[in-house]
Amino acid sequence: METGILFIVSAPSGAGKTSLVKSLLMRDPALALSVSCTTRPARSSEQDGIHYHFLDQNRFRQAIADGEFLEYAEVFGNLYGTRESDVRVCLSSGQDLILEIDWQGARQVRSQFPAAVGIFVLPPTVAELERRLRSRNTDSDAVIAQRMIQARDEMAHYAEYDYLVINDDFETALNALNAITTAERLRLAHQQPRLARLLA
């Protein structure tokens, strides 16, 4: 039976993960992005069910109690989580899926989906990461300092992933991500059910 491939993409804040994944999805329509749940308020440009499932604290904590989440974590005071049912339905239909989550979430997901493919996006240097965070002009110095501490902690877990992609030049990094997804689809385990008639 053909099942989709689960890709986990993680990175420290400011490494460009979200922009890379967005561009990869535009380039590769066979990929889908898992829509996470969060308790943080929606931004003006965000739509419920498209960017996130926006839940209040009570609903989110009830979902935790009911065992709905494949993984969840608290980040800067807000809760984020991935519903297990959403992932299983998607993969069982043969859809390849990307999860944008941190290393803690990735660890939780791999306990249920050991075949998941982990990709870690790194900045070219720590100094460049801080420059990118400051260029956003959205955070105070205190928040940036906190993000840098967390970034160093995130990057310490790079060895838990299958692939490392350096986002120095955006197009080069995007091509690397595209190469990874293409190569994984060409593995025997995925090609065999797709080519069953030919191989028979």
Instruction: Write the CATH number for 139.
Output: 3.40.50.300
Residue 35 lies in a domain: yes
Distance CA 140, CA 70 (A): 33
Give the pLDDT of residue 153. 93
3-state secondary structure of 74: strand
Q: How many domains does the chain have?
A: 1
Residue 1 lies in a domain: no
Residue 184 lies in a domain: yes
Query: Do the Cβ atoms of 102 and 10 come closer than 8 Å?
Result: yes
Residue pointed to by tokens 């967005």: 22
Query: Would you tell me how many other CB atoms lie within 10 Å of the CB of residue 189?
Result: 10
Give the pLDDT of residue 1. 57
Give the pLDDT of residue 2. 63
Nearest C-alpha neighbor of 28 from the set 82, 97, 120: 97
Q: Which residues contact 87 (CB under 8 A, 6 or more apart)?
A: 6, 34, 70, 97, 99, 113
Residue pointed to by tokens 């420290």: 12
Distance CA 44, CA 188 (A): 44
Q: For 34-65, how does the pLDDT look when each residue is reduced to its tens digit (9 = 90+)?
A: 999 999 999 888 999 888 999 999 999 999 99
Residue 72 lies in a domain: yes
Residue 172 lies in a domain: yes
Give the pLDDT of residue 54. 96
Residue 151 lies in a domain: yes
Mean pLDDT to the nearest integer, 140-146: 87
Full-model pTM: 0.88
Residue 38 lies in a domain: yes
Token code pair at residue 138: 């959205």
Give the pLDDT of residue 50. 87
Q: Where are the beta strands (DSSP E) in 6-68?
A: 6-10, 31-33, 37-38, 53-54
Q: Which domain holds residue 118?
A: 6-199
Residue 55 lies in a domain: yes
Mean pLDDT to the nearest integer, 121-130: 93
pLDDT at 21 over 60: yes
